């Protein structure tokens, strides 16, 4: 537009543009945050004591994954609704008084969206997303909503004191094989350098559209999905103050 030319040539505007870009780039106002409770190493050791209430966790995000006090099932947060998938397969909305020993949430604001209509597996979908990402050194929130021809989820049974290590508890997991199911995978891709704090790579939990099925996703095959991805450049870890955490030999070797 010819009328805009004088403005483009304004020295003031030339000064302003880099300043505004710098403010956008260096400020924290528009940066997504991953808020995490405890560390993966602590959970691996069997520190399943709830450290933060769901009421407090809900204030830190509307999208995420985790577990519950005593490792009582899988936590999934989607659109501000928090769900618990127990090892008997039941799914329920969670009240604010429930507590979590380990969770990761963000306020989901996608930067990119793509549609896939291929019979692709978890490794194929994650390889495609990996190719698209600008860097493997950032966190990403990933939401995959659509139809899955196959999806295997799991949940773990409530544990009792003295708590066994996570590997022992997972050996008691219940598998839920689903076929031709519609729902949403909620998850994160974390950089390799967070090892010990969180799980490097992808970690997804699933909730069906009817909110009757879900769990920690072990494998899946998509057929038609929409994938939304948010870049996360800020990470915040809330540490438990219970004695098992305070005296735990962290990090794990």
- Compare residues 75 and 116 and give the one whose CB is closer to Zn ion: 75
**CB 71, min distance to Zn ion, A:** 11
- Compare residues 73 and 240 and give the one whose CB is closer to Zn ion: 73
Which part of the chain contacts Zn ion (CB under 5 A), choosing from 91-99, 137-145, 208-216, 231-239? 208-216
**CB 144, min distance to Zn ion, A:** 15
Give the CA distances from residue 125 to residues 204, 231, 232, in Å, rounded to whole numbers and listed in that order: 12, 18, 20
- Compare residues 89 and 224 and give the one whose CB is closer to Zn ion: 89
- Compare residues 143 and 216 and give the one whose CB is closer to Zn ion: 216
**CB 15, min distance to Zn ion, A:** 49
Which part of the chain contacts Zn ion (CB under 5 A), choosing from 157-165, 179-187, 213-221, 226-234? 213-221
Which part of the chain contacts Zn ion (CB under 5 A), choosing from 50-58, 82-90, 131-139, 212-220? 212-220
For 241, residues 6+ apart whose C-beta sits below 8 A from its C-beta are 51
83 closest CA partner among 227, 200, 210, 225: 210
Report how far residue 247's alpha carbon sits from residue 228's, in angstroms, rounded to the nearest whole number: 40
Question: Two tokens at 197?
Answer: 């704090």
**CB 27, min distance to Zn ion, A:** 33
Give the CA distances from residue 45 to residues 51, 161, 169, 247, in Å, rounded to whole numbers and listed in that order: 15, 13, 11, 11
Report how far residue 217's alpha carbon sits from residue 156's, in angstroms, rounded to the nearest whole number: 12
- Compare residues 66 and 240 and give the one whose CB is closer to Zn ion: 66
Report how far residue 80's alpha carbon sits from residue 70's, in angstroms, rounded to the nearest whole number: 23
By beta carbon distance, the residue nearest Zn ion is 216
**CB 74, min distance to Zn ion, A:** 6
**CB 21, min distance to Zn ion, A:** 38
Question: Two tokens at 67?
Answer: 């577990």
CA 7 to centroid of chain Cα atoms: 45
Which part of the chain contacts Zn ion (CB under 5 A), choosing from 34-42, 168-176, 211-219, 244-252? 211-219
Binding residues for Zn ion, total number by CB under 5 A? 1
Which part of the chain contacts Zn ion (CB under 5 A), choosing from 2-10, 32-40, 102-110, 210-218? 210-218
**CB 64, min distance to Zn ion, A:** 10
- Compare residues 170 and 223 and give the one whose CB is closer to Zn ion: 170
216 binds Zn ion (CB under 5 A): yes
Sites of contact with Zn ion (CB under 5 A): 216
């Amino acid at each position: 537009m010819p009328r805009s030319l004088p403005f483009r040539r304004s020295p003031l505007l030339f000064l302003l543009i880099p300043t505004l870009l710098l403010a956008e780039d260096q400020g924290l106002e528009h940066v997504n945050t991953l808020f995490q409770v405890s560390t993966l190493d602590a959970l691996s050791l069997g520190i399943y004591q709830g450290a933060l209430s769901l009421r407090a966790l809900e204030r830190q995000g509307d999208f995420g994954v985790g577990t519950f006090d005593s490792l009582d099932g899988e936590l999934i947060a989607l659109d501000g609704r928090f769900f618990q998938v127990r090892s008997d397969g039941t799914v329920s909305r969670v009240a604010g008084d429930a507590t979590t020993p380990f969770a990761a949430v963000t306020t989901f604001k996608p930067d990119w969206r793509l549609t896939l209509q291929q019979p692709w597996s978890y490794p194929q979908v994650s390889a495609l997303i990996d190719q698209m990402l600008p860097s493997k050194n950032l966190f990403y929130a990933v939401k995959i909503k659509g139809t899955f021809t196959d999806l295997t989820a799991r949940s773990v049974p409530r544990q009792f004191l003295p708590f066994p290590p996570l590997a022992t508890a997972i050996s008691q997991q219940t598998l839920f094989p689903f076929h031709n199911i519609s729902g949403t995978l909620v998850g994160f891709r974390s950089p390799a350098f967070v090892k010990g704090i969180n799980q490097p790579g992808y970690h997804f939990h699933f909730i069906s559209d009817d909110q009757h099925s879900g769990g920690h996703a072990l494998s899946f095959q998509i057929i038609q999905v929409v994938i939304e991805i948010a870049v996360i450049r800020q990470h915040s870890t809330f540490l438990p103050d219970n004695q098992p955490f305070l005296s735990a030999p962290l990090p794990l070797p």
